[in-house]
Structures are given as structure tokens and as C-alpha cells.
Structure 1
């Protein structure tokens, strides 16, 4: 589920069974590395075999949400078959847009205007209108975050058959928050394509996104989590010396409004399941919750934590910052636990926490 497949060598044109076999063997025994996968690449588990098409011209067509206008928008370009991000950056005048009405969707007259701007004539205008309006309707009906056809092509005409407008490759991304009302889409879900740690977090009701850094972050509240990541990155920059990269967050992890022992235990297992994590920062604001209760949960979870090698207890630096209701009692609990948890450090505020965890990791 990543772009850049062609340039990565994972779109092959074959003309014989032997070429098809060789191409399949290459794809199934190598990881695909593209600008969207990162250096680690993606393992290929399935192949799509399609009949070849003689192409006259390639186009790009997509429906997505414009965050600036807060409206759904159709995006089209006569520069299809390539990364649209590159086209938008280098030749933005080649990008054509049509804003969808929030109630009526994409209107036929809008699609016709786009078709004319793309250079379509004759029957291809009607074919484009049909494809674009159907795509816009599906985008809304299926709660998509993006619907993309790349390339949309005009095939070469033959004496027996005139050129046709065909969608050769399409990609639909769906809003996870709306999947509960789309059983047909849920049935297509392939867990092998997901990050195992993100799958585990979803099972525990945690919001987790893996990043590239070395400091695991466990926070309650999305806003506080973002601020925590920013300040870790800020204080970690001082360690970027002599060609060495600075210290940065390894993840976004929001345990939600609470921070029970069960949640913290599960969160620790996710954080330390990432081999890049060399230290953990826990940043909890106890609004309604009592900081003393939260501190006990953190200490118990860290003490009972089972490492991948089967040993118990936290082995990497663990910095905890608490703020809120009954915070002094919570800090006393953390201080008293230092004997049984030698890697534990209590922080007085967020700046102190970031400095301590970056210092321990760096």
C-alpha cells in the first residue's frame, strides 16, 4: 500500500510466461523500497496480474479533502503516471481543481470543465464525467480520505476499436473512524499489512504511531503528547554533533483520559517492542485522576514489566513527569520506588523531563 512502485521496479511489463515467472519471483523475494516506504521497505505478499494496454496518454485524477478550505476537492492533471506531489511542486499550473459542493457533491458541469481543461474532446468528455462523478460519489459514500486514479489513460485507437478512457490503477484510503459502518471494507482488511505494534495498541484502545527516534513517549491526551514530542525534539537537538543525529521521539502514544496500571503495562510493552527505543518518557497530567493513583500504577507496571528476554523490571531509563491533583503524593511514591527501579527518575516539569531523558539516552 505505497506509491512509487514503478520506479522501485515493482511494476513489470512482461511478454511471456517465463518473464512473468521471473518478475513474480523478484517481487516476492525482495522488499519494495520507495519514497513512501522508507529505507526499511515493504514485504510483498500478493501480486496483481493485469492485461497490458496500449496507452495514448496518461492522466491523474483524485478526490481528497482540502484542509485549507475544509471542502472536498477534485484534483486532476494531464501529467499522470508520475508522483503528483512532484508535479504540484514543480509545475503547479498543471494541477486542475474543482471544489465539491458539501451537499450536492461533484456536479456534471464541473466535471465537464475539468475534462475540457485536460484536453478531452468528443466521447472522452462524457467518459471522464461518468468516471469523475462516480468516483466523487464513492468518496463520500465510503467515507474515504482519498480516492485516486493514477494513471487514468486514453488507450490507442485501432481499426476495430476507438480509444477508450480507462482507470489502470486506483487507490482508496478510508477513514478508520467510519469503518464501523462499512462491513464490506472491514472484510478486506489485511492485518499482515499493518505495523504489529500499532495493531497491538489498537487492541488495547491506545492511539499509537511509530516514528524514527529513540525516546518512547507515553502521554495522556493528544495535545499534551504533541507538546511532549516537540520538547523532546527541541532538547535532543543539542546532541546532534559530529555528524551524529539529535535525539527525537520514537512514537506518538496517547493513553487517553486515564492511565491505569493495565494501560501503562500495555503501553510499556508496545514502546519497548520497538528496538530503537533507548529511553522512555512518561508525561501524565492528572486532571480528574489522582496523581498518587497514577504514580502507583506506573511503578507497579514498571516493576512487573517483563522484558523480551524474560527478565522482570525496567532496563532502559524511565523518566516520569506528573502534574495535577495530589501531585506531591505522586512524586513521593516515585521517589520511594527509586530503590526497586534504578532506571526511574522523577521530573519536576516538562523541561526537566525532556532534559533528563535526552541526557540518559544521549
Structure 2
């Protein structure tokens, strides 16, 4: 579960990490009141669960409470990076001497937390060369000892009072990481302002499976309307924004389908794992869900084990009879009851492929032809 910036900063502050003075607002009037309380120049920041807000126009500055109300109103009427803005964070504009980057996340390959730091923080951190990024794994039986912080400071060029403050902050950030069951805690930028380090931004992701332990953190819904509907149906579904709707049985098969489509130049509209053993009713609901993404073509990739190919075929035909399918459907059927499934498909004027690559290439060809 991702947290909004203002939520992450509230947690940071409660652990003793310096953050700019500010509050969340849902109206331009509230933004003006907060700016008046701060009594200095402010920055008004859209609160969405996505990055690149500045480049999308979702961060603006104001010198007065009247200006804060004006820019807050503008931002609250915007859609930034595909997200409708419903909240803004109004906080003091801080003096920036230098911007750093600091994060703690999980290295799945090493099966350990990893500290990631760079002397080059800010909007384009993704473009920083690896040679300017310091990474240090953490032994969870030992935790973050001062020597780890000193080594990172050496590698990113921090000295003196700032290095001592960095070491203190790193220990607090790791404590948050452990106690809040986080998958990611990130500060970008971590601002050097004089001898002080200030978390000018926050990004936190909490492990969904640990939410039962985190009663103090409000639940944040990060699903689109279609993703919510899929969740209610018990389907694993993620919107991706392409034009080829995808359904497969099994997470590995679904990922393989996406990779194959991309290999042939396609743009998947979604990830949809219909699961093994899905019957006619479940498959029908999955296909109907795909139609809501308004694709140019639907690609169904079934390798039947527990899932029966004839059930998938019957589900597809059921949808066609009850609801018009306005786009071509490319289907690959292999496995349990394959012959019966292929026969049903062919009797209804469609073609069933045996090889995934051939079916994926055909789906891409249709999508790219418009």
C-alpha cells in the first residue's frame, strides 16, 4: 500500500526526522489558512500516488496566502500523471543548498534490505549513473550501525556536521522501515539546508500482508475503478494503459503473455491472471472485464491444466451471444480438453492458435493496424 506524501511526512516527523512545516488541504480556502499560519512563502504540492508531479504541473509556489489559495485551486482542478488531484500539501518553502537521495528498500535477490543513496537527488534521479549511487545491504540481525552511515557518507562525499546528521537520519529511517513493515521508504530530495537535513519529500510503501499490524496507518486505496471491480470478482488485474487486452491462466503465463506482446511491438492494456481452474462463469466475467478497457484486440492465452479449454471456449461464446464483442479476439488454446475447445471456437467462426508466439504476433498485427 502506497502512502501519500503528507502521510509519510507525518510518520517521519513522529520519529524525529526534519520535515518542512505544513499541512494537507482539500480546498483552496484551507490552503490559504495554512499558508497564513506558516507566514512565509509556501509550496503547494498535489497529493497523488505517482511521481513526476513537478513536470506535470502539480507543484506550484506562492508568496502570499492569496496566491496559495489561487494555485491550490488550480492544482485541485487538475489531473496529474493520470490521477485526479483531491488533496494538496501546503508547506513552507525551504532554503536548498544541495539535494541528495536516500532510500531503503528490499533487494529480492539478496533477500536483504538495501540502503540506496546518491549525492544527486531531485526530479531526475532515475537518470543518475550507477557510479554516483551508493548501495549498502543491511544485515537484519545487526541493523544499521554507524559504520554503515559513515561508509555511505564517504561514498557520496558528505563530511562534518552534515555527515553526523545523515547518520542520525539513516538510523531513524531504518527504524521506520522495520517498525512500519515497509517495502520502501524514500526521501527525494533529502535537502541540505545549512547543517540541517530536511526530508523535502516522502515516499512510503507498506507491505499489504502486514497491514493488520499497522492499525495507526489509514488505508489508502490505490486501485482504478476497473481494478476495484476485478478485485471484488477475485481476479488479479492491473491496468497498464495499452491497447491489447490480455487474459491468461496463471501469473507466470500472464507475465509471459505481456513480455511476448511487447517483444512483437505490442502494448498490453492490462495484466489479468484468471487463475487455474476458473470455470465458465469466472472466465465470462474476466472477458467482460477486458471489454471495459476499450481495447483494439483481446488476446486470450490458455495453457490448460486445471483450467479446461472447452470451458474457456464456452465462456467466450457465451459473452459473444449475450454481449457484442466489438473488437477481434485472438485466442491460443492448449492443454486439457484442447480438441473440444478448439472445435467450439472454430464452429463459431473463429481461429484458435496452438503456439503462443504466433497468437501474440497476430494480436499485435491487428492492434497496430488500428
- Structure 2 gap segments, 5+ residues each: 1-48
Q: Pick from 31, 35, 53: which aligns with 1:5? A: 53
Q: What does residue range 190-201 of structure 1 map to in structure 2 within 5 Å?
A: 191=221, 193-201=222-230
Q: Secondary structure at the match of 2:150?
A: helix
1:66 aligned partner:
107
The Cα shift of 1:110 comes to: 0.8
- In the aligned structure 2, how far is the partner of 1:167 from the partner of 1:213? 35
- Cα–Cα, structure 1 residues 85 and 23, in superposed 2: closer, same or farther, change >3 Å? same
- In the aligned structure 2, how far is the partner of 1:115 from the partner of 1:232? 44
The Cα shift of 1:147 comes to: 1.0
Q: Pick from 318, 332, 335: which aligns with 1:324? A: 335
- For normalisation by structure 2, the TM-score amounts to 0.76
Task: Output one character per residue of 1:56-92: Cα deviation in whole Å (capped at 9) or x when no partner.
Answer: 33322111233554432111222233422122x2xx3
- Cα–Cα, structure 1 residues 348 and 68, in superposed 2: closer, same or farther, change >3 Å? closer
1:264 aligned partner:
283
1:175 aligned partner:
207
Query: Given that residues 280 and 318 in structure 1 are in contact (C-alpha distance below 8 angstroms), is that contact kept between their aligned partners in structure 2?
Result: yes
2:98 aligned partner:
57
Q: Pick from 311, 321, 340: which aligns with 1:303? A: 321
- In the aligned structure 2, how far is the partner of 1:288 from the partner of 1:21? 58
Structure 1 stretch 8-17 or stretch 352-361: which is displaced more? 352-361
- In the aligned structure 1, how far is the partner of 2:114 from the partner of 2:336? 46
Q: Does 1:27 align with 2:79?
A: no
Query: Given that residues 219 and 284 in structure 1 are in contact (C-alpha distance below 8 angstroms), is that contact kept between their aligned partners in structure 2?
Result: yes
2:148 aligned partner:
110
- In the aligned structure 1, how far is the partner of 2:320 from the partner of 2:216? 41
- In the aligned structure 2, how far is the partner of 1:169 from the partner of 1:360? 44
Q: What does residue range 1-362 of structure 1 map to in structure 2 within 5 Å?
A: 1-32=49-80, 37=81, 41-67=82-108, 69-87=110-128, 89=129, 92-156=130-194, 163-185=195-217, 187-189=218-220, 191=221, 193-235=222-264, 237=265, 247-275=266-294, 277-304=295-322, 312-336=323-347, 338=348, 344-361=350-367, 362=369
Query: Given that residues 265 and 302 in structure 1 are in contact (C-alpha distance below 8 angstroms), is that contact kept between their aligned partners in structure 2?
Result: no
- In the aligned structure 2, how far is the partner of 1:105 from the partner of 1:203? 39
- Structure 1 gap segments, 5+ residues each: 157-162, 238-246, 305-311
- Cα–Cα, structure 1 residues 28 and 332, in superposed 2: closer, same or farther, change >3 Å? same
Task: Output one character per residue of 1:330-356: Cα deviation in whole Å (capped at 9) or x when no partner.
Answer: 2223333x1xxx6x4333432443354
- For normalisation by structure 1, the TM-score amounts to 0.78
- In the aligned structure 1, how far is the partner of 2:351 from the partner of 2:152? 60
Q: Secondary structure at the match of 1:153?
A: strand
Q: Secondary structure at the match of 1:55?
A: coil
CA RMSD after TM alignment = 2.6
- In the aligned structure 2, how far is the partner of 1:353 from the partner of 1:103? 50
- In the aligned structure 2, how far is the partner of 1:54 from the partner of 1:230? 45
Query: Given that residues 227 and 238 in structure 2 are in contact (C-alpha distance below 8 angstroms), is that contact kept between their aligned partners in structure 1?
Result: yes
- In the aligned structure 2, how far is the partner of 1:151 from the partner of 1:359? 43
Point out which structure has higher relative CO (alpha carbons under 8 A, 6+ apart): 2
The Cα shift of 1:172 comes to: 0.7
The Cα shift of 1:300 comes to: 2.4
The Cα shift of 1:13 comes to: 2.7
- In the aligned structure 2, how far is the partner of 1:93 from the partner of 1:201? 42
Q: Secondary structure at the match of 2:198?
A: strand
